[in-house]
Amino acid sequence: MNRPVALFSCIAFLFNTFHCVAQLANNGVIDLSEVSFEERNRLTLNGNWAFEWNRFTAPDSGISACTDQIAVPGNWFEFNPDKNSMQAAYGHGSYALQLKLPQPHTAYALKLPNIHSSYEMFINGTSVGTCGVPSAVKERSVPSSQTRVVSFISDSNAQAVLVFHVSNYFYPSACGIWLPIEIGTVPAITASRSWNYMWSGFLTGSLLLMALYHIGLFVSRRKDVTTLIFATLCLMLAIRELFSGEVIAFDLLPQLPWHAAMRILIGIFPLVLVLFALFIYKLYPNFYNRKVLLALTVYCGIYMLVVLFTPSWVYLGYMMYFNVGALCFGLYSIYVLFRATLKRSEGALLFALGVVVMMSTLLHDIFVQVGLITGTFLVPAAFFFFILMQSLVLAVRFSKSFFRVEELSISLDNTNRAYERFVPKEMLKLLNKEDIIAVKLGDEMRAEMTVLFADIVGFTTIAEKMSDARTFQFINWTLGRTSPIIKENNGFIDKYIGDAIMAVFPNRPDDAVLAAIQMRENLRQGMESDPFGLEVNVDYGIGIHTGNLVLGTVGGEERMEGTVISDAVNTAARIESLTRKYAVGVIISADVKEKLQQPELFEFRFLDETALKGKSKLVRIYEVMLKK
């Protein structure tokens, strides 16, 4: 029985242990010049920032325009000493921080938390992002809640000046930069946010699966309403997860008003509280006083009406008082479960364990939210742990559901195995498969298609000038700029081979030629600013050939992948290698030239009739360019 407690304690420990190391600012300056970002991927910019209350400073004025200092993370309550507690959070101001970084002209990234309730950020005087519309006037301010990742490049002095214009007229319990801002390498910060998204998505998906599963249980046995209550509870928590943490709801619905999102986020909580109490009451009716349940329903119903029909300063301002009442009802629930446990009621101990963990983390997160302590929000993990405990309770009560749980586990295992044998979506369509689960080893189709090979010219020389991490960053940057062009031209990437790309175009050879020209042009435009300080011309060598291909799956039952097998593939690869010999960018075969549907779009220059490696037949090759 102690294993779940130990597991959750380890999770909570890891959350706090691997949280970013804080770097303390002093007088609006943080010196990171001696920090190795390769060793410490992420740091928090805590400490005393420069601050100007009730005025938006010029974006390029930096810390010199600010006359005060403010602790970050923290609220600006102290700058409104004459106002009551409901109004102390309202106003606007400017934050400024000067960063001294290890290297000039180097890419870094910032992870911005929710900043109540709107802001605009400037780096070295340039606006790099907004959340809502900050304003010195309430009527012109538009609130929003989103986390963001902002990348930037340090200046020639290896510095960067951050300026935030922040306004808040809608959230009375928190304001300003009340959560830590993280800095690190672009891959580290991006990965951090991706992990948060994955975790939130995992929680949401798990809760939805549990909701659907218990709805199925209710349909099969409608006399027991506890499964329906539990399914509704899971569904409400899944919806709430979309509006908390990384606030995925704003990514899914960009036009969603902030006020609507906040009403959903806050309004769901009293509903969850009632469902939770009703669930306990139905499981243990002999221990839960019905009058307490009625009182809780009225209490939560009144607050829900307040959330739905009052402005944000009312329902958010009184949220803390509601949470105190909710905490009291939670303690009563623990008391009920304690009594049920002493009477050896079925599943009561597991239920009590989930409630204790949930109440502890909820109290912790309330303290974090109001600024009493700093740390990681633990409620999402506790939600999952709590729901898991309730699932175990229901599993204990309903032994007949074990068979369905086993079937669901087998189905999920099959799905995971199918995803491990990854096949590109475009390939699924060509194989006439509806989803990846239907793909089997040996599936194939034959058709005439065009193959494109692209490789960075002189990559080995370029890589020698960079560290391994920078090399990966460089490769991903080039692929990020050029890979989407292949999809835009109706092709798909069969595989990445180091810095090289092999792509297939099922429709017209014209698509491959256009993609090749656009890839080189897009890469050239991206390298104009020389973001990696290479001081060399980075370019692609591209070879294209058309022929009959066999597209299908190869490998073994435990691991397979989609691929293209044909002599045309080898020919395209050999043609690409000739771009160095003839010092040109794009080379096509005569087969491609003859089958172009719109040859008038291009200019061709005959290069040679040559024998490719491993082939006896001569191949005519051409340089191709877009006609001006």
CATH number of the domain enclosing 577? 3.30.70.1230
Element at 110 (helix H, strand E): strand 107-112
Look at residue 602 and tell me whether its pLDDT is greater than 70. yes
Strands 148-153 and 107-112 turn out to be antiparallel
The band of 565, judged by pLDDT with boundaries at 50, 70 and 90, is: confident
Q: What is the DSSP string of 414-470?
A: HHHHHHHS---HHHHHHTT-SSGGG--TT-EEEEEEEEEEEEETTHHHHHHTS-HHH
- Model confidence at 252, pLDDT cuts 50, 70, 90, reads confident
437-493 per-position pLDDT tens digit = 555 665 677 888 999 999 988 888 888 888 888 888 888 888 888 888 998 998 888
The predicted pLDDT at position 326 comes to: 84
- Residues 511 and 621 both lie in one domain: yes
552-582 per-residue burial string, b: 16 or more CB within 10 A, e: under 16:
bbeeeeeebebbbebebbbbbbbbbebbeee
Per-residue model confidence (pLDDT) at position 420: 45
Question: Do 91 and 217 fall into the same domain?
Answer: no
Residues 6+ apart with CB under 8 A from 586: 513, 516, 517, 520, 542, 543, 544, 579, 623, 624, 625
The least confident of 105-114, 194-203, 288-297, 593-602 is 194-203
Q: What is the mean pLDDT of the segment spanning 70-85? A: 80
* Residues 174 and 90 reside in one and the same domain: yes
Question: Is residue 16 in some structural domain?
Answer: no
SS3 of residue 171 by DSSP: coil
Over its C-alpha atoms, the chain yields an Rg (Å, rounded) of 30
**Residue 383: closest CA among 350, 353, 365, 357:** 357
Q: Taking Cα atoms as reference points, which of 435, 444, 445, 424 lies closest to residue 553?
A: 444
How open is the CA angle 412-395-235, to the nearest 5 degrees? 65
> Residue 15: pLDDT band by 50, 70, 90 thresholds?
very low
pLDDT over threshold 90, residue 280: no
Short-list 399, 384, 404, 388, CA closest to 346: 399
* pLDDT (mean) for 94-110: 92
Domain shared by 440 and 375, yes or no: no
* Same domain, residue pair 341 and 431: no
Residue 2 pLDDT > 50, yes or no?
A: no
Identify whether 189 is part of a domain. no
Most confident of 2-16, 157-171, 326-340: 157-171
Task: Supply the CATH number for residue 56's domain.
Answer: 2.60.120.260
Residue 70's pLDDT band (boundaries 50, 70, 90)?
Answer: very high
Domain-located, residue 190: no
Do 499 and 399 fall into the same domain?
A: no
Q: What is the mean pLDDT of the chain?
A: 81
Q: Are 153 and 144 in contact (CB under 8 A)?
A: no
Task: State the pLDDT at residue 377.
Answer: 62
Nearest to 234 by CA among 404, 11, 383: 383
- Which of these three, 413, 444, 477, is where a domain ends? 413
pLDDT bin (cut points 50, 70, 90) of residue 7 is very low
Q: Record the pTM.
A: 0.55
Establish if 14 belongs to a structural domain: no
- Residue finishing a domain among 184, 213, 246: 184
Domain boundary residue, one of 391, 413, 435? 413
Most confident of 39-48, 52-61, 605-614: 52-61
Contact 543, 572 (CB under 8 A): yes
Average pLDDT over residues 590-608: 92
Q: Is residue 95 part of a domain?
A: yes
Query: Which amino acid type is present at position 219?
Result: V
CA angle 308, 311, 312 (to 5 degrees): 95
Claim to verify: residue 389 and residue 504 sit in the same structural domain: no
Residue 18 pLDDT: 42
Q: Find the DSSP H helices in 465-504.
A: 468-488
Does residue 480 share a domain with residue 346?
no
Residues 215 and 157 in one domain: no
Which of these, 566, 542, 540, lies nearest to 552 by C-alpha position?
566
Do the Cβ atoms of 600 and 594 come closer than 8 Å?
no
Q: Both 575 and 490 in a single domain?
A: yes
258 within 8 A of 114, measured Cβ to Cβ: no
Burial of 414 by CB count in 10 Å (0-12 exposed, 13-18 middle, 19+ buried)?
exposed
Look-up: residue for tokens 């309430």?
138
> Is residue 473 in some structural domain?
yes
**Same domain (yes/no): 30, 168:** yes
pLDDT at 50: 94
Structure confidence at residue 299 (pLDDT): 92
Q: Tell me, what amino acid is at 48?
A: N
> How high is the pLDDT of residue 247?
77
Q: Is residue 465 domain-resident?
A: yes
**Alpha carbon distances (Å) from 510 to 430, 513, 573, 624:** 19, 5, 18, 11
Number of domains into which the chain is organized: 3
CATH number of the domain residue 298 falls in? 1.20.1070
Taking 90 as the threshold, does the pLDDT of residue 514 lie above it? yes
The reply to whether 482 and 591 lie within a common domain is yes
Confidence of residue 426 (pLDDT cuts 50, 70, 90): low
Picking from 358, 387, 416, 85, the residue whose alpha carbon sits closest to that of residue 214 is: 387
Of all residues in the chain, what percent carry a pLDDT higher than 90?
A: 25
pLDDT at 537: 76
Residue 42 lies in a domain: yes
**What local confidence, expressed as pLDDT, does residue 542 receive?**
93
The span from the CA of 131 to the CA of 146, in Å, is 7
pLDDT value at residue 88: 82
* 97-106, 328-337, 522-531, 551-560: range with highest mean pLDDT: 97-106
Q: Amino acid identity, residue 515? A: A
Alpha carbon distances (Å) from 446 to 184, 489, 495: 48, 21, 19
Q: Minimal CA–CA distance to 27: which of 58, 65, 68?
A: 68
**Domain containing residue 532:** 425-626
